[in-house]
Structure 1
């Protein structure tokens, strides 16, 4: 093409020129071009600056889109780009086919099939959605599902089959998170605030408000940045989350219980609920928290508390953790993070159930299981706790709104 001089052309093409255009690129002006292939095929191209980046956008074949139509479309896109929008993304969104919840659930299930603990669990995951969600939301596209729709699905089973409802809620959340990651919906996951609109189950004891495990990384990110607590309280809370121990076991931790070279913490029997010693494998992040606590240490006594309270020689109270959550406006309990960990094990990993139960130091259910777990599964638990710590770190920089969930916890 010959080099142009002076001003860029504006509406330089005519309908006759389009029909007789030779191979090459022909400028109409304002970034609109007619491209002609050696074969004679013709198409429209719009060159735009979108949010600081040059983008080329195809506007269709010249045999289907007239010069006037191409100019009109180009003008609309230029206006959107000048306003700071992204007309290319908007165009893709218009062309996107949004699946129904049932379609999304099956696709999500298929993509995660390699992570299921076993075939029975994989079948159960989808079967509960088919039984309790598909009849109501199965035909609704995922971008149209909000908190009211999720609440209406859960309400019929929330009191009568609360444990089932809790699992259904978690699985709906997984499907909607999957859809968001695929660019099929926008905004917060409606599952995270749904329990505020559901009645509180009666006659159930031992339930602790817990965050969905998907919210734990964001909580830890906020925890590290908050000015609403001192450094020792924040170190203790994160240590409780990463080790999945009961808060009292961490609050009472003493330096002589740790073998930092072996990366192990042995909690003596007299401080355990089951009355038996419990060995906790320590992930690298947990070791870093201990190092940070050591830098604040004021006593060389091997039996000194790792996370002391304000009163000399006294352990930090559980209320210190509770008040921290209240100041951060997080509707959960410190103990509830054990539930978050347990749900993560079941829903997002293929670690066997007995390994997760051993990590939580739960009482054994049978003599057969006791015999099977005689080894304490220490190395498998170490891999699991390291994976949990990595999960908590992977998205810790993304702070999102936090909500609550409930489950029984011993």
Structure 2
């Protein structure tokens, strides 16, 4: 049967200006979709996850059936653009000789055909996860995602990627769907992402972990009530009880002489997040200007956040700041440890549990918000800026960021006076 490549269906070839560029292929801002390289049959396939690969498209003359052949991954660490073009040109030559690339590939020697296929475990943990985790702000997130896969998806690990069907996915999800709904839903989403990233290089066809029109039929559509039940709010200490909590923390610091209690009090005073405090370094603090600048890399908004410091917050910093130390609030050092580490991830949660059981450090931000709204006349935008919440468009945010620091200082000092 005669064959025709996809590019030859157009009477006039596309102009060179419509061809792909290396910058476009490697850019993180390249939109999802199929991007043609100017009518030569070569396409850059970009998925919603950001993964990308090369596809060669052609049609069978007569049937007009569209066929696709994967040419490897694309992007900074994949097959270069020129190499993909060279491969596409070779395939076009095959087409002109009436050779179907996919049929020719299937006719390769048995030894090549029997090359071991990549398994889900190898692809997920070695190929996909390290690249996917580059977007994480907290290194702990990669460990947690790895643990989720190793804990619940191990039955998929030895399976070839193209052998995984809906049956195998259901076998992984069903045992934990009712008992661990949050983990189950996150696991399903990640399995879908991994299988999608493996397409078309290591698998073809529909994604067996897709929710809509697939697994939704097995587990049922979420209602609004179900979604609300799944949302785990961070319990907040009633703000009227916080002065007592702060006094208890100060007493514990004197008795135990540990910095974690001062760190938790500093978190309360600044309405900050746990990771912002525990990873705080001395160079972020300007005691003369009475400010603390949290770098963008540690902020949820990915923008630097300047915190005006109350007199009590400065007292705490003067008590814990040490010259030539890597962290403001240091964790407990084990005997023989040479590396100084920050407070442990759950250290402040344990400190709060000792004086206010049932509450979380993150909930203390809500306590601050409730106090500001119920007990003060400070404008809402000032309170939201104190919590590093995003307001307005880009120009408005930049204007407010420049003005709001000193306008927030009376708010933070009033908060410190309330906690005294």
TM-score by length of structure 1 reads 0.43
Relative contact order higher in (CA < 8 Å, ≥ 6 apart): 1
